[in-house]
Structure 1
Amino acid sequence: MLRYLPALALVVALPAWGQNLTFGGMRADTSAPVEIAADALAVNQSDGTAVFTGNVVIGQGAMRLSAGRVDVTYAEGGTTRIRSLRAEGDVTLVSGDDAAEAQEALYDVEAGQVTLIGDVILAQGGNVLTGQRMEVDLATGAARVEGRVRTILQPGQQGGGN
């Protein structure tokens, strides 16, 4: 029986300082256009912000983010370039075979950095990782998870289902 122990799914609780990983498909062309679809939009020209509500779906290249509400801050000079996004309410981030859920997401478009906050769940193939905060560098796909990190690793699989 003990010889089969390594083949069993592992559950690992790591210290709250975090875990580094590669978010396999979570790379994005940060120079690609950002497309947003929603049920409603309110724009405030005076402070350069917009609020998208209801079934919000944001796409940039192969990356998709969905949420109940997304606040957009535009870069200086009008509404032609987005500086940052703040999503809340059933946030889901998908890229390739990787998917993550959280309570909130902050996307610094100019820096190419996404931060997921609150009850983060990351699924890569059959592997699952949870924590309280995950930061992803979209240029490299490198990610860092913090806050009572837990992983479930399936035998014979690596991140991204490979």
Structure 2
Amino acid sequence: MRFSPVIAALIALAAGPALSQEVAFGGLKADANAPVEVTSDSLSVNQSDGSAVFKGNVLVVQGGLRMQAAQVDVGYAPGDRSKIQTLHATGGVTLVSPTEAAESKEAVYDVAAGTVVMTGDVLLTQGESVMSGQKLSVNLRSGTGQMDGRVRTILQPGTQK
């Protein structure tokens, strides 16, 4: 049986803080085929291994999805340095969509898979509802995710439908 996110969260609250909770995301979706735009204060590129590191006020934009961090390391697809495979953000990460926002210590965005894994003191805000945990895994294609690690949810009555 599948419960709505609000019912699932209420069940979790009644049972006490959970270790894992499924999350529905209406706005944390991205088109994996959309261009990825990265801006920062500086960029370091190592030609020998093909690595790239963006530092300082890094902003990554893909469609309506925005990610900010102090540093983002770029991982390219094997054998093709023109295709970004992963973005590893560190130094306080914020992931924002038009309707939701999440914060964490670091995040790995697998562009090809369309997934983001945020770790370290994760805080998710959906309207007036708030959820926290240690790991948030989001499938940007389906708009679903899972919060793990001593999950705590605070719901505001009347804000979810």
CA contact (8 A) 1:132 1:148 kept: yes
Match of 1:39 among 38, 41, 65: 41
Counterpart AA for 2:51: T
The TM-score normalised by the length of structure 1 is: 0.87
Question: Which residues of 2 match residues 10-159 of structure 1 at below 5 A?
Answer: 12=13, 13-16=16-19, 18-158=20-160
SS in 2 for 1:149: strand
Coordinate RMSD, CA, aligned? 1.5
Counterpart AA for 2:59: V
Length, aligned pairs only: 149
CA distance in 2 between counterparts of 1:75 and 1:46 reads 15
Alpha-carbon distance, 1:44 to partner: 1.2
Deviations 1:88-131 (A, max 9, x none): 11200001210000000001111111000000000000000000
> Whose Rg is larger?
1
The 10-residue stretch of structure 1 (74-83 or 104-113) with the greater mean CA deviation from structure 2: 74-83
CA distance in 2 between counterparts of 1:144 and 1:84 reads 20
CA contact (8 A) 1:48 1:78 kept: no
Percent of counterpart pairs with the same letter?
52
Extract unaligned runs of 5+ from structure 1.
1-9
CA contact (8 A) 2:40 2:56 kept: yes
Alpha-carbon distance, 1:77 to partner: 4.5
Counterpart AA for 1:83: Q
CA contact (8 A) 2:100 2:127 kept: yes
Which protein has greater RCO, CA pairs closer than 8 Å, 6+ apart? 1
The TM-score normalised by the length of structure 2 is: 0.88
